Amino acid sequence: MTTHHFHPTHYHATIGPHEPVLRIAAGDTVVTTTVDAYGRDARHEQVTAGSNPQAGPFYVENAEPGDTLALHFDHLYPNRDYGYTSTAVAANVVDPQYVGALPERARAEWRIDRARGTASLVKPATKLGNLTLPLAPMLGCFGVAPPDGQAISTTTAGQYGGNMDYRGFVAGVTVYLPVFVPGALLFLGDGHAVQGDGEIVGTGIEVSFDVQFTVRLLKGKRINWPRGENAAYIFTVGNARPLDQAVQHATTEMLRWLQEDYGLDALGAHILLGQCVEYDLGNMFDPAYTMVCKLPKRWL
């Protein structure tokens, strides 16, 4: 049960079988930082190239293909005062005939007040003025090395996690990821101070983060897609296009979970899910879209 303080010095543009930066054991906690999606750190310095650069990978001792990695987000919080968003909804999120009406894709700047827990729009000047939103810090991209020796861009997502941009990945949540390679090889990055569903402008309020997480290992537990839980819900995550397929992955994973781990018979799982399921939209911007299938724990 060691707590590691780790300061990243280089970053990855792919999630894959890269050289581990730290070896940790099940039960260990890591205190570290992530840079923003453009490669800037807490001092606002460009320390790596952009596009969701990832800290890690963290090698989890004894993790083997066929296990599940449980990743608890202990703490996720911006570690600087400026964040950025895009100014235009993405072309793929509006009617094709409406694309010509989209504003130019530029950068908006937000002032983050970490003490008060708010983010305020600084520019451009719009009728929103200095719109001020409550912080809801979440991690946009994290995952473990995918199967078959693949190294996959941090702009997309799959069964191994990746750039899911789900607002539910906040401090207090436990995420379960399937292990495909020895050591699991955990990566993290792309913190958002605030984000709307779907990450429809292609960004949350992009900012560098202080991160603390704790890992556990579920030996011999096989899962197919990321799972998670918070105080009120269990949930499963599907990453694919179109959204329909992401829903199919997440729903299938939930049906399996209910029957394998919650002792429900098939009929019970289906009847329960039919009347109590909820769905959230992760991102609808990346090559793979994300849908989340949720079930309130009170019904379990």
Q: Among residue numbers 59 through 118, which ones bind a second copy (CB under 8 A)?
A: 85-103, 108
Tell me if residue 183 falls in helix, strand or coil: coil
CA-closest candidate to residue 12, choices 146, 105, 106:
146
Nearest distance from residue 229's CB to a second copy, in Å? 18
Q: Which stretch binds a second copy (CB under 8 A): 28-36, 37-45, 179-187, 201-209?
A: 201-209
Q: Does 252 bind a second copy (CB under 8 A)?
A: yes
All residues at 6 or more sequence positions from 31 whose CB lies less than 8 Å from its CB, including other chains: 3, 4, 5, 6, 210, 211, 212
Q: Which stretch binds a second copy (CB under 8 A): 36-44, 56-64, 226-234, 238-246?
A: 238-246
- Give the whole-angstrom CA distance, residue 184 versus residue 176: 12
- Give the whole-angstrom CA distance, residue 211 versus residue 18: 21
Q: Does 130 bind a second copy (CB under 8 A)?
A: no
Nearest distance from residue 204's CB to a second copy, in Å? 7
* Contact yes or no for 163/190 (Cβ under 8 A): yes
Number of residues that bind a second copy (CB under 8 A): 82
Nearest distance from residue 291's CB to a second copy, in Å? 8
Neighbouring C-beta atoms of residue 206, cutoff 10 Å = 27
Binding mask 1-40 for a second copy (x = CB under 8 A): ------------xx-x------------------------
Closer residue to a second copy in complex, CB, 8/198 = 198
Contact positions with a second copy (CB under 8 A) in 136-195: 147-153, 194-195
Q: Which stretch binds a second copy (CB under 8 A): 2-10, 38-46, 122-130, 174-182?
A: 122-130
Cα 182 from chain centre: 22
Nearest distance from residue 288's CB to a second copy, in Å? 9
Among 112, 201, 215, 234, binds a second copy (CB under 8 A): 201
- Strands across the sheet containing 55-60: 22-24, 55-60, 186-192, 138-144, 161-163, 157-158
- Give the whole-angstrom CA distance, residue 54 versus residue 10: 9
Nearest distance from residue 76's CB to a second copy, in Å? 17
Q: Does 277 bind a second copy (CB under 8 A)?
A: yes
| Element of type H or E holding 260 | helix 243-261
* Contact yes or no for 285/198 (Cβ under 8 A): yes
Closer residue to a second copy in complex, CB, 24/264 = 264
